[in-house]
Amino acid sequence: MYYVYVLRNKVNNYRYIGHCENIPLRLKDHNYGKIKSTKSFKPWHLVHYEEFRTRAEAIARERFLKSGIGREWLDSQGI
């Protein structure tokens, strides 16, 4: 299974959207500073995730959530 996940930094209220196969491991990588784009803003907390059968579906959803309409949808859901 593949997942699209949304992380939130409670200090700055930043949001990060990504995809992976193992959410707990990926969250650990973000919080240990192993991910270049997020290491300056830790700690991160998982606030939302969605499950997909294929990587292509997960990537398509990640791209949507990173778009303007996707960010609006996340905001409307309180994510």
pLDDT averaged over consecutive 10-residue blocks of the chain (79 residues)?
96 95 97 93 96 98 97 94
Residue 10 is predicted with a pLDDT of 85
CA-nearest of 74, 48, 70, 72 to 61 is 70
Joined tokens for residue 7: 């992380």
Q: Is 2-76 a CATH 1.10.1790.20 domain?
A: no
Residue 69 Cα distances to 7, 40, 74, angstroms: 18, 27, 9
Give start and end residues of each alpha helix (H) in the chain.
23-31, 55-66, 68-76
What pTM was estimated for this model as a whole?
Answer: 0.93
Joined tokens for residue 58: 């997960």
